[in-house]
Amino acid sequence: MVLILCSLDVVVAVEMDVTASSITSLPCDLTTLVGNLFHHHPTYSDEFIGRRMTEDYGIQLSGRQVKRIRLQQGWLHRYNNSTVAEAEQAITFNTIEQLLAEGRIRQYGRRQLIIHLSRKYGHRPRGNDVREALQALDTYGVTSRMPGMKKKRQDNYVVPGPDWLWCLDGHDKLSRFGIEIYACVNAFSRKIIWSFVGSSNRTQVSVLRQYLDTIKAIGYCFNFLRSDRSRETPMMADAYYFFCYTACFNDFSIPDDVFN
């Protein structure tokens, strides 16, 4: 992944004239600024990058001069070399796989994901690479975002009784505003057992505390727990296993060879 770090306090905001003859000896700060705009803003053209350089830093750059800087640094819009294209595709695939595992891009489509990767991580992915990665790694999300009639479920969701199954998950649609939600629902009655609103819904200690406080308040434990493989669930799963093991261990009707 390409990360562009820019130090603005060393850039002198004066009006400069960059000619074609001096383009080979550009200062490092100017190259860094151009690279920052190129990698973090995938919709910017060379002309627009030159316009931003003039407006923000007082440096006169044309679109042709920006293009010459890009080519010298190897920053291309398209990669005709198959080896480089495969390497970029692998970087995009691995990055999207990691973000999906962390639950950060659960509802992101192709265009929103391209903007997210470039602005936050400085990586300019190709649209086809992002599309193929989402189709391979997030099949359900791609299907749910397709236009048209949604496929109706053929089966009925049946739960044997109350507190037989609790379902937990996070809600990230307000995360861009600093609000993250984590909640638990009774699968039988569809009623909310608890709901947490805070700055992070992926903290293991926080989710464990929510779970333990709820068990302490109601005075009993449910039969089964359903959740995704997120990083916030292991400690809660360990506590649930401890409760089940302790309950079975104290039940004398269960033979001892079950625990071996």
Lowest mean pLDDT among 38-52, 68-82, 191-205: 68-82
Q: Answer for the pair 163, 188: CB distance below 8 angstroms, yes or no.
A: yes
Kindly tell me if the per-residue pLDDT of 1 is higher than 50.
no
Query: Of all residues in the chain, what percent carry a pLDDT higher than 70?
Result: 82
Kindly tell me if the per-residue pLDDT of 138 is higher than 60.
yes
Question: In this structure, what token pair is assigned to residue 179?
Answer: 């609000």
Chain-wide mean pLDDT for the chain?
A: 80
Q: Which pLDDT score, from 0 to 100, does residue 42 have?
A: 84
Q: Answer for the pair 116, 95: CB distance below 8 angstroms, yes or no.
A: no
Whole-model pTM: value is 0.47
Kindly tell me if the per-residue pLDDT of 152 is higher than 70.
no
Kindly tell me if the per-residue pLDDT of 76 is higher than 90.
no
Q: Which pLDDT score, from 0 to 100, does residue 155 have?
A: 66
DSSP letter (8 states) at residue 24: G
Q: Which pLDDT score, from 0 to 100, does residue 153 have?
A: 62
What Å distances lie between residue 50 and 2, 58, 60, 124, 160, CA to CA? Answer: 21, 10, 7, 19, 65
Q: Which pLDDT score, from 0 to 100, does residue 90 have?
A: 92
Report the alpha-carbon distance of residue 75 to residue 2 in Å, rounded. Answer: 11
Q: Which pLDDT score, from 0 to 100, does residue 256 have?
A: 62
Q: Which pLDDT score, from 0 to 100, does residue 21 have?
A: 40
Lowest mean pLDDT among 27-36, 106-115, 195-204: 27-36
Lowest mean pLDDT among 95-99, 137-141, 185-189: 137-141
pLDDT category at 144 given cuts 50, 70, 90 is confident
Q: Which pLDDT score, from 0 to 100, does residue 183 have?
A: 93
